[in-house]
Each structure stands twice: as structure tokens, then as C-alpha cells.
Amino acid sequence: MLFTATSQNVLDFLIRADWQDAQAAADGIVVTTAQVERAFEVGKRRNYQNPALFRRYLRRTGQTVADVKFRVRANLIRGALLTNEHLTSAALDAELTSRFKPQTACARFYVMSDCAGG
């Protein structure tokens, strides 16, 4: 049960990140590796007083540095879309869902929260 719920949350995040990437590309928004690195380092320093605490976080969550940087990049893209589109978070989600959900295949064990049963 926990695996299924976690898997669905992860897939939901990855699919929505893909939608955001596609919208950012259509809007000409580019997030560079340097921007991701800078935001990653700032966040790491802000949230973890020393490297050992960050490593402990990675072990506890099962994430890699690449996983964390992927999330940082997704957050930067989302922020840029919100600024560029002048939308609220809910309005951006609705716009992305209406534009990209029809192109997203849902299948058993590969389900987003809002296309369950689809």
C-alpha cells in the first residue's frame, strides 16, 4: 500500500515536471545548469548546517544528489512559469492539466492522481 501510494506520488511529480518542461520550452524559458547548481547550493546551506546532515537526509530519503537537483530544477521552472504566465499555482496546474493531460497515457500501475481509472 505504501509502495503504491509513493509510486503514484512520484509518477505524478515526474509527469507534471515533464509538462512544466514542455510549457517552459514553448514559452522560451531556459533554466541553466549554473542556475540549478546555485539554487541547490543555497538550499543545501540554508537547510543543512553541515555536509553530514545533508548526507544523512539523502540516506534517510533514499534520494541522490541528482534527484535533489532534479527537484530544484523543476521548482525553478515552475517559478519561472508562474512569473511568466502571471498565474497562481492552482491556475498554472489547471492550465498544464488541460493542455497536457489529453496527451498523457494512463495505465494500470502508471497512474496520476487525477486520471485514476482512466
- Distance (Å, whole) CA 25 – CA 11: 21
Domain count, the chain: 1
pLDDT per residue over 17-28, tens digit each?
999 999 999 999
Q: Which domain holds residue 38?
A: 2-115
3-state secondary structure of 107: strand
**Could you tell me the CA-to-CA distances from 27 to 23, 46, 81, 88, 93 in Å, in that order?**
6, 31, 8, 17, 16
Confidence of residue 117 (pLDDT cuts 50, 70, 90): very low
Residue-averaged pLDDT of the chain:
87
pLDDT per residue over 62-72, tens digit each?
999 999 999 99
- pLDDT given for residue 28 in this prediction: 96
Beta bridge partners of 110: 107
Confidence of residue 4 (pLDDT cuts 50, 70, 90): low
